[in-house]
Structure 1
Amino acid sequence: MTGWLYLTLAIGLEIVATTLLKLSNGLEKWGFAAASIGIYALCFLVLAPALKSIPVGVAYAVWSGVGIVAMAVIGIILFDQRLSLVQMGCVALVLVGALGLRLSTPAGGEI
Structure 2
Amino acid sequence: MSSVRAYHWVCLVGAIAFEVAGTTIMKAAQSWEMLYGPQLGIVLMLVLIGLSYYLLSLATTALPVGVAFAFWEGLGLLFITLSSVLLLGEEMTLKRFVALCAVAGGVLLVHHGTSSGDAGDGTAVNSGRC
Secondary structure, counterpart of 1:83 in structure 2: coil
Matches within 5 A, 1:7-46: 7-25=12-30, 29-46=38-55
Q: Which has the higher contact order (CA 8 A, sep 6+)?
A: 1
State how far apart, in whole Å, the 2-side matches of 1:87 and 1:16 are. Answer: 20
Residue 117 of structure 2 is matched in structure 1 by: 110
Matches within 5 A, 1:1-111: 1=4, 2-25=7-30, 29-103=38-112, 109-110=116-117
Which deviates more, 28-37 or 14-23?
28-37
Asked if structure 2 preserves the Cα contact closer than 8 Å seen for 1:24 and 1:30, the reply is no
Number of residues paired by the alignment?
A: 109
Asked if structure 2 preserves the Cα contact closer than 8 Å seen for 1:16 and 1:39, the reply is yes
State how far apart, in whole Å, the 2-side matches of 1:39 and 1:77 are. Answer: 20
Secondary structure, counterpart of 2:87 in structure 1: helix
Structure 2 stretches of 5 or more lacking a match?
119-130
Q: Which structure has the bigger radius of gyration?
A: 2
**Structure 1 stretches of 4+ moved >4 Å:** 103-106
Secondary structure, counterpart of 2:30 in structure 1: coil
Q: TM-score, normalised by structure 1?
A: 0.84
Asked if structure 2 preserves the Cα contact closer than 8 Å seen for 1:13 and 1:42, the reply is yes
Q: Determine what percentage of the aligned residue pairs are the same residue.
A: 25
State how far apart, in whole Å, the 1-side matches of 2:29 and 2:90 are. Answer: 17
State how far apart, in whole Å, the 1-side matches of 2:10 and 2:113 are. Answer: 16
Residue type matched to 2:29 in 1?
S
Judged with a 3 Å threshold, the aligned counterparts in structure 2 of structure 1 residues 8 and 110 are, in CA distance, closer, same or farther, namely farther
Structure 1 stretches of 5 or more lacking a match?
none
